[in-house]
Amino acid sequence: MELQLGQILALIAASLAVIVTGIGSSRGVGMAGETAAGVATENPEVAGKLLVLQLLPATQGIYGFLIAVIVLINTGVLGGQMVSVTIDQGIKYIVGCLPVMIVGWYSAIKQARVSQAGMLMTGKHPDMSGRGVTMAVMVETYAVFGLLISFLIVNSI
């Protein structure tokens, strides 16, 4: 069966949701990992506490993956037979994925920067690691908003 343009657009939307958030998350986890390595070298006993801060920017990639899966479910790809998708619907899928893509990419990088600062704080004051996590989680709020809006849009198509 030959794919229709609407179906192709829906698949592009799902792919971009994973790609863009994945790029942001992998960059964020890498940035945080570099700082964790430096801090752990100076203060090895805090290495375990640094892992949570390094992991936080990875969640945006998970959000993009979730939205992509919802698009694939809604279009029948995961059911084995892709349903007909009009061009308008395909464009709506792209628009629906934009919030999680853009906010996910940007917040992963910003969250990594806050995580890096939390790691430096934890290295000097290990008892403050919880505050570092709290500060980094605050950035997560906006990624969750992007996820929710994308979820609502994609499920309204």
How would DSSP label each residue in 21-48?
HHHHHHHHHHHHHHHHHHHHHH-GGGHH
pTM: 0.94
Range of the domain at 24: 5-155
* Whether the Cβ atoms of residue 141 and residue 64 lie closer than 8 Å to each other: no
Percent of the chain with pLDDT over 90: 97
Q: What is the pLDDT of residue 2?
A: 86
Nearest partner of 157 among 91, 59, 82, judged by Cα: 91
Total count of domains within the chain: 1
Each residue of 125-145: pLDDT tens digit? 999 999 999 999 999 999 999
User: Per the structure block, which two tokens stand in for 148?
Assistant: 């929710």
Q: What CATH number corresponds to the domain at position 52?
A: 1.20.120.610
Q: What is the pLDDT of residue 135?
A: 97
